[in-house]
Structure 1
Amino acid sequence: MLKLFNQNLFSQTGWRFLWLAVLTFVLDQYTKKLTVEHIELYQAVEITPFFNLTHVYNTGAAFSFLSDAGGWQRWFFTVIAFVVVGLILWWLKQTSRQQILLPVAFCLIIGGALGNVYDRIVLGHVVDFLVLYYQDWVWPAFNIADSAICLGAALLIVDMFKNKELKND
């Protein structure tokens, strides 16, 4: 048990960035709470000519994938998220102290995944509220968790190209 909390484990691996996952989770949940408390369901609040805050629920995954599947998808996506978070935590432990971009990307993905999983377990749906649009074209609503997952995925790609030379040596 003491090895789990060993100072070296947290200072020498990617686990030292887990605070970012916690921060992402807290920011995601806080903004969703504000949305539910201050914006009526389906109400749109225009922020700019291309950006609204719109309170909506998503029972599916990205882009409302499987949102009309009858309810089983809630637990399916929850299990997938927990498996992915477990796998990423294992990968995170394997990262070295010299790596920064990769563990930051992993922690953003963990925080975002857990933010949406929390909604699925507690509410039965994910609260989305950020909407980008142009004239009649509207991007599906998303939230801070989704943004963190996308940013984390983009950073993984950047890390892959940035460290390509190191991995081929």
Structure 2
Amino acid sequence: MFARGLILAAVVFLLDRLSKWWFMDVYELARKGVVEILPVFNVVMVWNRGVSFSLFSAETDTGRWFLVGMTSVIVAILLFWLRSVHTRLTMVAIGLVIGGAIGNIYDRVIYGAVADFFQFHVGDWSFAVFNVADCFISCGAVVLAWDAFFGSGRADKEQKN
């Protein structure tokens, strides 16, 4: 399971890098500004200095490296957890989170902030701007929560009781 989780994390990382390369270097999104795809969905170049949904913005280098360190510790904990995983669902969830987190760590180290592109909005109200890594992190977190409440994690707890 560990090797498969690492392979999945690597694929997620590569998909994130590929999407960021395409939007930044090929499509030149920063030069184009806001590009409306649907009445409720745009692509736009945003540099996120915070964590998810721009929370806890880190405007200084100290804040930037703190976020790199904090995210790296989380990845290390997830790698440790991945070594003991026995179910495919948990392995997939952890692999998704690790790959996405490493994609965002890469951005912080190289660019000083995370490149985000996808924006859902209603009129002038914008939900958030996010990237491929964020999608994988969110999906992995939802799957982990689902597994904890309804899946193998709960079944294991009930068997112990």
What does residue 145 of structure 2 align with?
157
Within 2, Cα distance between the matches of 1:101 and 1:117? 24
- Secondary structure, aligned partner of 1:147: helix
- Measured at CA, do residues 71 and 28 of structure 1 come closer, stay the same or move farther in structure 2, by a change above 3 Å? same
* Residue 139 (str. 1) matches residue 127 (str. 2): yes
- Secondary structure, aligned partner of 2:60: coil
TM-score (structure 1 length as normaliser) = 0.86
Deviation sequence 1:52-78 (CA, Å, 0-9, x none):
110111112112223254332210111
What does residue 34 of structure 2 align with?
44
What does residue 75 of structure 1 align with?
65
The aligned length equals 155
| Matching residue's letter, 1:73 | G
* Residue 33 (str. 1) matches residue 21 (str. 2): yes
Deviation sequence 1:74-108 (CA, Å, 0-9, x none):
10111111111111111111012xx1110100000
Query: Quick one: which of 89, 103, 113 aligns to 2:79?
Result: 89
Within 1, Cα distance between the matches of 2:55 and 2:31? 20
Deviation of 1:34 (Å): 1.3
Within 2, Cα distance between the matches of 1:42 and 1:160? 43
What does residue 106 of structure 1 align with?
94
Q: Is the 8 A contact 1:50 1:132 kept in 2?
A: yes
Deviation of 1:40 (Å): 1.9
What stretches of structure 2 of length at least 5 have no aligned partner? none
Deviation sequence 1:99-123 (CA, Å, 0-9, x none):
1110100000000000000000011
What does residue 117 of structure 1 align with?
105
- Measured at CA, do residues 84 and 43 of structure 1 come closer, stay the same or move farther in structure 2, by a change above 3 Å? same
Q: Matches of residues 43-62 of structure 1 in structure 2 within 5 Å?
A: 43-62=33-52
TM-score (structure 2 length as normaliser) = 0.90
What stretches of structure 1 of length at least 5 have no aligned partner? 1-12
Q: Is the 8 A contact 1:66 1:73 kept in 2?
A: no
Within 1, Cα distance between the matches of 2:57 and 2:77? 26
Q: Is the 8 A contact 2:5 2:82 kept in 1?
A: no
Deviation of 1:42 (Å): 7.4
- Secondary structure, aligned partner of 1:160: helix
